[in-house]
Amino acid sequence: MLERIVDAVEHRTPEGIAAAISRLIRSGSLGAGDRLPTVRDVASTLGVSPATVSNAWQALSGVGLITSRGRAGSYVLQAATPWMPPHFGELAGSHVTARLDLSTGTPDPSLLPDLSHALTKVPTRADTASYLSSPVLPGLEKHLRASWPYPVASLTIVDGALDAISRALETLVRFGDRVVVENPTFPPFLDLLETFGAERLPVDVDEQGMLPRQLADALALGPVAVILQPRAHNPTGISMGAARARELARVLRAHDHLCDPVVIEDDHSGEISSSPAHSLGTWLPHRTLHVRSFAKSHGPDLRIAALGGPEALIDRIVARRLLGPGWTSRMLQTILYELLTAPTSVDTVHDARRIYQARQRLLSEALVEQGLPHEPSDGINTWLPVADEKAAILTLAASGIRVAAGSSFVAAAPVPDARPPQFLRVTAGRVVDDFDAVAALLAAAARAE
C-alpha cells in the first residue's frame, strides 16, 4: 500500500498527498477499512516532514475519507452512505465533522418559524373519513391558488418536492425516454432519471437560467419532459427572469411539431427567494407542472409541498398516490396552513428571506474584496469557480470548513481528454458572521492547485 500511495503522489505538499489518497479511495484502490501506512513511513518514503503528511491526513479526515483511531492507526472510511442513491449519496458525507458546514444546502434552523401555535390547531383525534375526503384542505388550496404564479387548473399536496417530481416522472417517463435537465442540476434528479431508465439531455444555464438555444437543440431529440428550477437554482443560486421564462416558452411552442414535453418546475425555495416567481405555466398552462416546496422556508421535516398543473396530469398523480401513501396527512396540512397564514410565522419567514439575502450580499462583497468576481445569489446556495475542486475541498477541510463538490451536480457526460470547469457549491445562507474571514478562506481554496 505504501508503494501505491507514493506512486500516486504528484505534488509533495499536504494538498498533493491528500489529493492522491483521495483519488485512490474513490477509484477503489483503497477500500473501506484499509489501514493507512503510518505518518512517519509515508513522510520518510516521500522525503517530506511528518507535519506535511499529518496535515494531509487532517484534510482527508476533514472531508470524511479517513478516520484516526489513535495508536491503532488511520483507516479508510466508506466514501458514501450505502442506503442513499449514488448521486444523492455524494452529498451525504456522514463521516464528516466541521466547525463550519457549508455543504448541506439546508436552511438555518434558527430562521424557521416556531411550530407551537400551529400545533394547537391540529385536531386531537385523527379524521376517520380521510379515505374518501378531498386530498387537499380547502382553506390551504385557496391560499395556495392565490399565491400561485399563474392560474392553475388543479392542485394537490405531496410529501416534499422530490415526491412531486418522482410522481410526475413516474406518470410521464418510460424506459428509454429522454428528459431535459439543467447543467448543473440537483443530483437526486439524476438518480430519479436513472431509476426510470431515462436518458438525460443536459442544457447549460447562465445567470438567467436554461439557455434557449441549447434547449432548442435538445427538443430536436424528442424529450418527454423538461425539469428546471425557476428560482434559487440549486447549486448556482440563480433565478429565472420573466424574459427568459417567456423565451423558453416560445422555444417549446416552436417545437410542438416535434414533441410536446411536460415542463416540471421545482420552486424549492419559493418562500425565502428574493426573486419574483416566474413560471412557464403562464404561457404553457396545459403542459406545466409547478412544484412549490416549503422545506427551506418552514422546515425540511414537514415533508410537504404543493403540486399544480393540468387537471388530467394531477388526477393521474393523485390516483396513483391513493395506491401508495394515499394522501399527505391533513394534520400536516393544517400545520402548513397555519404557518402560511398566522402573522407571527409569516413575519418570521419574511425576516428569513431578508436575512438570507443580506448574508448572500455580505459574503459576495467579501469575496470580491478578496479578488474573486462574484454576484450575490438567491436563496441559500452559491456557486464558486475554483482552480481545482479537490484541492479546494481539502484546503477548506484543513481549516474546518466543509463544502459540496461541484462535480456532484454536473449533468453532462465528461468530454474525453478535456478538463471540465471546477466549482464548489457553498451554502452561503449558513454563514452568520465572520464574512471576511470565511471569504478569505474560500478565496485561498479557490486558488489552490
For the stretch 383-395, pLDDT in tens is 999 999 988 988 8
Same domain? For 280 and 186 the reply is: yes
Q: What are phi and psi of 202, to 5 degrees?
A: -75, 135
Same domain? For 170 and 94 the reply is: no
For residue 237, the enclosing domain spans: 135-334
Q: Which residue shows C-alpha cell 508503494?
A: 3
- Position 331 scores a pLDDT of 93
- Position 94 scores a pLDDT of 43
Same domain? For 70 and 90 the reply is: no
In a domain, 130, yes or no: no
In a domain, 165, yes or no: yes
Burial 154-176 (b: 16+ CB within 10 A, else e): bbbbbbbbbbbbbbbbebbbeee
Sheet holding 178-183, edge to edge: 154-158, 305-309, 288-293, 262-267, 225-228, 178-183, 199-206, 209-210
Check if the beta carbon of residue 340 is closer than 8 Å to that of residue 270.
Answer: no
In a domain, 18, yes or no: yes
Number of domains the chain contains: 3
C-alpha 394 chain-centroid distance: 21
CA-CA distance, 52 to 17, in Å (whole number)?
9
Q: Which string of DSSP letters, residue by residue, matches 424-439?
A: EEE-GGG--S-HHHHH
Question: In Å, how far are 190, 197, 370 from 194, measured between CA atoms?
Answer: 6, 5, 40
CA-CA distance, 277 to 272, in Å (whole number)?
11
Same domain? For 350 and 247 the reply is: no
Same domain? For 219 and 287 the reply is: yes
Grid coordinates in use for 305? 409541498
Same domain? For 155 and 298 the reply is: yes
In 3-state terms, what secondary structure has residue 369? helix
Low-confidence ranges of the chain (pLDDT < 50): 93-95
Same domain? For 246 and 162 the reply is: yes
Residue 159, domain CATH: 3.40.640.10
In a domain, 127, yes or no: no
Check if the beta carbon of residue 283 is closer than 8 Å to that of residue 249.
Answer: yes
Same domain? For 39 and 180 the reply is: no
Same domain? For 36 and 165 the reply is: no
Residue 401, domain CATH: 3.90.1150.10
Among 294, 310, 334, the domain boundary falls at 334
Nearest CA-CA partner of 18 in 47, 67, 52: 52
Same domain? For 326 and 238 the reply is: yes
Q: Which residue shows C-alpha cell 397564514?
A: 341
Same domain? For 145 and 286 the reply is: yes
**What is the DSSP secondary structure assignment for residue 308, as one 8-state letter?**
E
Q: Which residue shows C-alpha cell 414537514?
A: 302
CA-CA distance, 429 to 41, in Å (whole number)?
42
Q: Is the model's pTM score more than 0.75?
A: yes
pLDDT digits (tens, 9 = 90+) for 165-183: 999 999 999 999 999 999 9
Check if the beta carbon of residue 269 is closer than 8 Å to that of residue 379.
Answer: yes
